[in-house]
Structure 1
Amino acid sequence: MSRQPSPWLRALRQGEQPRARLVCLPHAGGSASFFRPWLAHLPGDIDLLAVQYPGREERFNEPCVTCLDTLAEHIAKALLALPERPVLLFGHSMGAALAYETALRLETAARGVAHVFVSAHPPPHRQPSSDLHRQDDAALVADIRRQDGGAASLWDNPQLRALFLPTVRGDYQAIETWRREHLQPLAAPIDVLLAHDDLEVSQEQARAWADLSRHTPDIRLFDGNHFYLKQQPRPVIQHLLQRVAHHSGALA
């Protein structure tokens, strides 16, 4: 594996001449290693990079960034420093908002992306108001449990809760304070992924991503809840590649 391109990017696979680069942006509280299982299902000539936000894993001692715009600026800068290749952005939950904001900055810098995939999150003009980052630990943990019941053991442990909850709170602040005065459509296609049993985003909200792209988004429903992609990485990746091929043929 090549050396890490930036603290903001974990190179899960980085070849010499990839035909494309898939860049994954995690959910609130998530880390780059969340996407490591995708390596087993992604073609070998596509690089896999995952964004590593401060405050977790090897960046644990760095302060969290609680502004979504600032996060997007850092991520875009890290991507602009890489050799030019077709870029696919995939963001889950909070990462979906960041994928959109990062794509805007790349397009402004004349380094547009080939495709943007937003998973399990509404567009900025349809995001409900919430202030969980201001509420007590019990309320915040209850919301985390509601979305990801499989992580209960982490939040049942007082030491682990004390260690990791400040990072999650910082991420909640970033996404809950995300505002956009003017809607800016992307030149790149935006496609939407969500789960049948996810209460975080409705199909009506998902359709509103059409306001932010010059292409009509495809909306793909998967079985499961908010973290549907944990159980089915292969179908998710196959869907991404099919959609990119549909638009450009570049990854057919």
Structure 2
Amino acid sequence: MSHPAETWVRPFRLTPMPRLRLVCFPHAGGSASFFAAWKERLPADIDLLAMQYPGREDRFNETPLTGMAPLAEGAALALREFADAPLVLFGHSLGAALAYETALQLEHAGLSPHHLFVSALPAPHLQRGGELHRGDEAALLDDIRRQGGASELLEDADLRALFLPILRADYQVIETYRRARPVALACPVDVLLGDRDEEASSDEAQGWDLAGRQRATLKRFPGGHFYLVGQRTAVIEHLLCRLGHAETLFREIA
């Protein structure tokens, strides 16, 4: 049986003595490779890890999980192996909720993350829910097109047939996820949001205040739900500024 760290974590950069380890959690239908290019924009002493959920890429033969709890349990168990350096968690959309739930589990194990960044998602107690995971294929695909995600996968019938079960499972995870009230983390919580994102309003995003012991900082970027594709450099620079490393660590790639 594979070790949890080998199964769940894709290390795009691992160094002997990192200052921080940035751990990225993909969106619904997303995979670890979505964040691979981030290493080119990070300083050399910040490691880059991304979570690989069951059912995609090199975990294609595994059944996708349909609940937040087992996803968070798997991710937290795997990340214990990397907690010898400060962990900074970044999650986008579904990945934001999963990063938060993983942070709670790590904190409970005495391995509190250094910082949590959540992107493009209402706070846990303000989740909108939904029934798209129960509906037909057309409605699910229309929702993905509306958000501007994974369009290349939708146009090829064979790829679409492989992609849809993963997408439906991920939608079930986020559409059935909600907390009556968030548990406040010890680490700082930052919120990132596209200024034209229809999936989370400013009020819903600011609701993440309750997920930390201090008021969450909200930063808006130009764009919709997948704003971070076009704003990658600005997003990474913002993360580094918030972590206090921008002046000495950030390097622009020409």
Residue aligning to 2:204: 205
What SS does structure 1 have at the residue aligned with 2:6?
Answer: coil
Residue aligning to 2:63: 63
Residue aligning to 2:233: 234
What SS does structure 2 have at the residue aligned with 1:226?
Answer: coil
Long gaps (5+) in structure 2: none
Once the two structures are superposed, residues 82-135 of structure 1 have per-residue CA deviations (whole angstroms, 9 ceiling, x without a partner) of 351111000000000001100000110110011000000011111112111000
What SS does structure 1 have at the residue aligned with 2:207?
Answer: helix
What SS does structure 1 have at the residue aligned with 2:89?
Answer: strand
Calculate percent identity across the aligned residue pairs.
54
1:250–1:216 distance in 2 versus 1, CA, 3 Å? farther
1:218–1:226 distance in 2 versus 1, CA, 3 Å? same
- Letter of the aligned partner of 1:91 in structure 2? G
Residue aligning to 2:8: 8
Residue aligning to 2:23: 23
- Letter of the aligned partner of 2:128 in structure 1? P
Residue aligning to 2:220: 221
Deviation of 1:211 after TM superposition, in Å, equals 1.0
Long gaps (5+) in structure 1: none
Once the two structures are superposed, residues 113-165 of structure 1 have per-residue CA deviations (whole angstroms, 9 ceiling, x without a partner) of 1100000001111111211100000000000111116x333212221111111
Residue aligning to 1:127: 127
1:213–1:32 distance in 2 versus 1, CA, 3 Å? same
Q: Over the residues paired in the alignment, what is the CA RMSD in angstroms?
A: 2.0
Residue aligning to 1:171: 170
Residue aligning to 2:110: 110
1:18–1:195 distance in 2 versus 1, CA, 3 Å? same
Deviation of 1:217 after TM superposition, in Å, equals 1.0
Structure 1 CA distance for aligned equivalents of residues 161 and 41 of structure 2: 35
Residue aligning to 1:137: 137
* 4+ runs deviating over 6 angstroms: 249-252
- Letter of the aligned partner of 2:177 in structure 1? W
Residue aligning to 2:44: 44
Structural mapping, 1:148-187, within 5 Å: 148=148, 151-187=150-186
